[in-house]
Amino acid sequence: MTDFAATRNLFHLPDGVIYLDGNSLGPLPRDAPARVARTTVAEWGDMLITGWNKAGWMAQPAALGDRIGRLIGAEAGHVTLGDTLSIKVFQALAAALNLVPDRRVVLSDNGNFPTDLYMAEGLMRLRDSGHSLRVVDPEAVAGAITDEVAVVMLTEVDYRTGRKHDMAAITARAHAAGAVVIWDLAHSAGALPVDLSGTGADFAVGCTYKYLNGGPGAPAFIYVAPRHADSLQPALAGWLGHAAPFDFDLAYRPGARVERMRVGTPPVLQMAALEAAMDIWDTVDMQAVRTASVALCERFIADVEAACPMLALASPRDAAARGSQVSFRFADGYAVMQALIARGVIGDFRAPDIMRFGFTPLFIGEDDVRAAAAILAEVMRDRLWDRPEHHKRAAVT
């Protein structure tokens, strides 16, 4: 059983801060600075170019991929790391379209993160092969899986509301209809148990800087189901996805399995930080995370709803249909969030009116939740948000 009182001490959390935004950028693992310093000085500095072999930099995308794979139910050897989530979405979709060559529709929903839709449309413009993106309401996805659909491309947990798709049911329905499925796990990996192998997902992608605590700009990951892994022709045919990168052949031959989804040089310093995070995650049971996360979310909803009748719950009320975040709608939500941040409660805001609060049992306990709800209640009761300084928009929200 995971001891969350112990994991809390493995993170650096500034005094006076209740951090409810680990779903946007996870906090710093206490061991990360030393791990990054070691890679910078003792590896890059002292080993120089020989670090690729001696420090094992080249093998890290696969090793870290397997450690993440355990958290998302992937078979060993079928997850690799690199690039950003947008790039991994592009790779997965390009490969998926080739698996269903006789159909022309990609189905997604308007709860998907916009970049997934942008990347899909960019890919379709590039192919110019009559494909189209069909974007429906999240609730309408299952019913929209017709025999026109080549690929169902969804983010499991909605970044705004925390609404959670039923991955097993949608995957089964897509397969029954002859489509393949891509799951974006940005708000799932490290947030709740995922069973890629058990649900039969074809592809999955995700990022490591949210719940996985890999740090700002940490690399993305991609999973390709074993049944597809050795037959895909990568659209982004980079040299580190080549079967023998250091032969420097002029012709591309894809590497084994998901290794062919590697593109260029991996981000060694970012991977060092992620390694420190994975040292923590290796000890964590995802079912225990889920149980604790649900309790924290329920507590927050109850406290906020009792004290703040002007806030409307934007997340599903049913915990089983929710990820590890709780969102409330309020017209002046941006200013409320600024007032909260000024008082040490850090969540974030998503246009037009959503305040998001992420709950990560690894470093958030019930006392934090009660304290955050009390501060939110005070901000709302005394209209503390209604001051000019809280309405000033920053570049990044």
Instruction: Considering only residues 300 through 329, tell me which ones interact with a copy of itself, judged by CB under 8 A.
Output: none
Shortest Å, Cβ 252 to a copy of itself: 4
Can residue 233 be called a binding residue for a copy of itself (CB under 8 A)? yes
Binds a copy of itself (CB under 8 A): choice among 9, 132, 139, 216: 216
Q: What is the CA radius of gyration of the chain?
A: 21
Nearest residue (CB) to a copy of itself, 240 versus 286: 240
Q: How many residues bind a copy of itself (CB under 8 A)?
A: 93
From the CB of 44, what's the least distance to a copy of itself, in Å? 5
- Interface residue with a copy of itself among 32, 150, 196, 380 (CB under 8 A) is 32
Pick from 139, 249, 282, 366 the residue near a copy of itself by CB under 8 A.
249
- Determine contact, residues 177/150, Cβ cutoff 8 Å: no
Burial grade of 191 (CB within 10 A; 0-12, 13-18, 19 or more):
buried
Scanning the structure block, which residue is given the tokens 């393949």?
180
The correct pick among 190, 267, 323, 333 for binding a copy of itself (CB under 8 A) is: 267
Q: What is the DSSP string of 306-343?
A: HH-TTSEE-S-SSGGGB-SEEEEE-TTHHHHHHHHHHT
Interface with a copy of itself (CB under 8 A), residue from 46, 230, 285, 366: 46
Of residues 79-98, which lie at the interface with a copy of itself (CB under 8 A)?
82-87, 90, 94
The answer to whether 190 contacts a copy of itself (rule: CB under 8 A) is: no
Least spacing, CB of residue 382 vs a copy of itself, in Å = 24
Annotated catalytic residue: which of 11, 90, 209, 328? 209
Query: Which of 75, 115, 195, 384 lies at the binding interface for a copy of itself (CB under 8 A)?
Result: 115
Backbone torsion region of residue 312, taken as left when φ is above 0, otherwise alpha when ψ lies between -120 and 50, otherwise beta: beta
Distance, in Å, from the CA atom of 108 to the CA atom of 155, rounded to the nearest integer, reads 9
Supply the DSSP symbol for 74: P
Q: Given the complex with a copy of itself, which of 21 and 286 has the nearer CB atom?
A: 21
Which one of residues 69, 162, 215, 323 is an interface residue with a copy of itself (CB under 8 A)? 215
CB of 204 to a copy of itself, least distance (A): 17
Among the listed residues 113, 221, 334, 349, the single catalytic one is 113
209 part of the active site? yes
> Which DSSP helix (H) or strand (E) runs through 81?
strand 79-82
The question of whether 113 is a catalytic residue gets the answer yes
Give Cα separations from 271 to 49, 58, 101, 159, 187 (angstroms).
17, 11, 36, 24, 20
Closest to 163 in 3D by CA, of 202, 203, 112, 211: 112
Which lies closer to a copy of itself via its Cβ, residue 212 or residue 346?
A: 346
77 binds a copy of itself (CB under 8 A): no
The pair of three-digit structure tokens given for residue 98, joined into one six-digit string? 């080739």
Q: Is 140 in the site for a copy of itself (CB under 8 A)?
A: no
> Using the rule CB under 8 A, which residue among 236, 307, 342, 374 binds a copy of itself?
236
Tokens, residue 147? 């025999």
| CA dihedral sign of residues 210, 212, 218, 220 | negative
Contact region for a copy of itself (CB under 8 A) — 195-203, 231-239, 300-308, 376-384? 231-239
Confirm or reject binding of residue 223 to a copy of itself (CB under 8 A): no
- Phi then psi for residue 82, to 5 deg, are 150, 170
Rounded to whole angstroms, how far apart are CA atoms 272 and 191?
22
Per-residue x/- track, 147-186, a copy of itself (CB under 8 A): ----------------------------------------
Report in angstroms how near the CB of residue 341 gets to a copy of itself at its nearest: 7
88 is catalytic: no
223 flagged as catalytic = no
Residue 329 among the catalytic residues: no
- φ, ψ of residue 157 in degrees (nearest 5): -115, 125
140: region left, alpha or beta (phi > 0 left; psi from -120 to 50 alpha): alpha
Cα distance between the two ends of the chain: 36
Residues 29 and 218: their CA atoms lie apart, in Å, by: 13
Q: Which stretch binds a copy of itself (CB under 8 A): 107-115, 140-148, 163-171, 362-370?
A: 107-115
- Does position 252 bind a copy of itself by CB under 8 A? yes
Which residues are marked as active site? 113, 184, 209-210, 356
